[in-house]
Amino acid sequence: MTHVLQAELYDVADVKEFGLDEADVAVVAIGADIEASILTTTLLLEAGVRRVITRATTWLNGTILQRVGAHDVICPEESSGEMLARSLRAPGITEHIELSSQIGINKLLAPDEWVGHTLDVLRLSAADPAFIALAIQRGDETIAAPAPEERIQDGDVLAVLCQESMLDEFPLVARRR
């Protein structure tokens, strides 16, 4: 990021005066004032900013910002709430990438009770499609598409494909031997 600007914009001339019309990306991080967020996003888009990322505080605010033309709409409060809910359902998951509402990729540090067991025994191989280990990060080594006979070692970090409907069973995987 080469430039950061905090400003109140009232028309397209303001956007051009600050040179924002030539920016590759503009981030609108206004939270409390929904009207200002919508107006600022609109002005940046009208001035020709190539990519506008904006923050929404509610679902409706996000919908309006999308309809105005924002390229990306983020809702940090919603994302934090989803992450908290996921961590309560499956303790140990530190990151999640949603591929669809039914499936996602989860990152977790291998629990102590998994150490020494194979992916097959832990039901983390393609033989059981509810949970599939896609990669293991072992120190500086990355094991992509690990074999079912790969044994989990202390400190391993796993990327696991998981069906959302099975997430509640995720912590129990290690107990199914």
Kindly report, residue by residue over 55-69, the tens digit of the pLDDT.
999 889 999 999 999
What percent of the chain is predicted at pLDDT more than 90? 47
Average pLDDT along the chain: 87
Of the candidates 175, 173, 119, the one whose C-alpha atom is nearest the C-alpha of residue 151 is 119
pLDDT category of residue 134 using cuts at 50, 70 and 90: very high
Composition of the chain by helix, strand, coil, percent to 5: 35, 25, 40
pLDDT tens digits for range 103-119: 999 998 998 889 999 99
Gap between the terminal Cα atoms of the chain? 50
Neighbours of 59 (CB within 10 A): 10
Query: Which residues lie across from 142 on neighbouring strands?
Result: 137
Fold of 85-175: Alpha-Beta Plaits (3.30.70)
Under a CB-based contact definition with an 8 Å cutoff, are residues 42 and 17 in contact?
no
| Amino acid letter, residue 78 | E
pTM of the model: 0.65
Domain with CATH 3.30.70.1450 in the chain: 85-175
Residues 123 and 116: their CA atoms lie apart, in Å, by 14
Domain with CATH 3.40.50.720 in the chain: 12-74
Q: Which CATH class is domain 12-74?
A: alpha beta
